[in-house]
Structure 1
Amino acid sequence: MIKVAFFTNDLKTIDAHFGSSEQFMVYDVDTNGSTLLGVVLTGEERTEGRVALLQEEGIDMLYCIEIGPAAAAKVVNSKIFPMKYKTAVSIEEELEKLSTMLGSNPPPFIQKIIEKRG
């Protein structure tokens, strides 16, 4: 199982920038599907505060529409893998893809997350 954060404005799509989103949704994802754990409000937090929120939630991966290079470096240094999209993507579709990937042959970066989780 891995824990994933989706930066979203509408709670349906990955459509928010890491640095300006007001919230992110947290899911547990495994080979059987996903479970919504909650929505975390980011408030006025800047990069360090957002990274701290992700760490408090135990996030392994985050999905967003954009993330700046300095913020991405801070996220990666915190052992969280960022996924960036150029256009809005359905959260439900990404959850299905991720669950299927976990049950087949996950890429090395996801294998490392799974091994870390034990």
Structure 2
Amino acid sequence: MSSIKITSNNPEEGTLKIAFATKDLENIDSHFGSARQFAVYEVSKSCINVCEIKKVIEKDTDKTVALLDDIDIVYFTNVGAIAAAKLINNGIFTIKYKEVVEIETELKKLQEMLNTNPPPFIKKIIEKKAA
């Protein structure tokens, strides 16, 4: 597996690690089970950093879930019930969009949420990471 990984030296408290199932690295446009890659970002109140592109080598739900083991939230256009259950059981929150959405738009929305009033599930993720 070849990938470039970028991490910040001092990750800000409350940083979320987000993965997007994407074909073109610009849009959330892939079904979880058929995604060939995930664009991974770190999002905090003050910055958004691209971390890495995680490549899916073989179509195997367990291996794909394991590939995302350090992710807090994963976005996709659809997911099967078994895969969704495996993600949730591994502490990964899932968000499904029926239509294609720009990754940049979603990142900005997430950052705005962090700076205003994050929903309970995001507060829970942040609290869990701080513990």
Shorter-chain TM-score range:
over 0.9
The answer for the alignment partner of 2:40 in structure 1 is 26
- What's the C-alpha RMSD, in Å, of the aligned pairs? 0.7
Higher Cα Rg, which structure: 2
Deviations 1:76-107 (Å, cap 9, x if unpaired)? 00000000000100000000000000111111
- In percent, how many aligned pairs have the same letter? 49
For these two proteins, the number of residue pairs brought into alignment is 116
Q: Indicate whether 1:64 and 2:76 are aligned.
A: yes
Tell whether the 8 Å contact from 2:34 to 2:59 is kept in structure 1 after alignment: no
The answer for the alignment partner of 1:42 in structure 2 is 56
Name structure 1 gaps, 5 residues minimum.
none
Query: Offset of 1:11 from its aligned partner?
Result: 0.5
Quick check: which one's strand share is greater?
1
Tell whether the 8 Å contact from 1:33 to 1:96 is kept in structure 2 after alignment: no
Counterpart-to-counterpart distance in 1, 2:112 and 2:62: 32
Counterpart-to-counterpart distance in 1, 2:118 and 2:59: 33
Query: Offset of 1:70 from its aligned partner?
Result: 1.0
TM-score of the superposition, structure 2-length normalised?
0.87
Find the residue that maps to 2:78 and give its secondary structure. Answer: coil
Name structure 2 gaps, 5 residues minimum.
1-14
Q: Any runs of at least 4 consecutive aligned residues in structure 1 with deviations exceeding 2 A, and if so which?
A: none
The answer for the alignment partner of 2:27 in structure 1 is 13
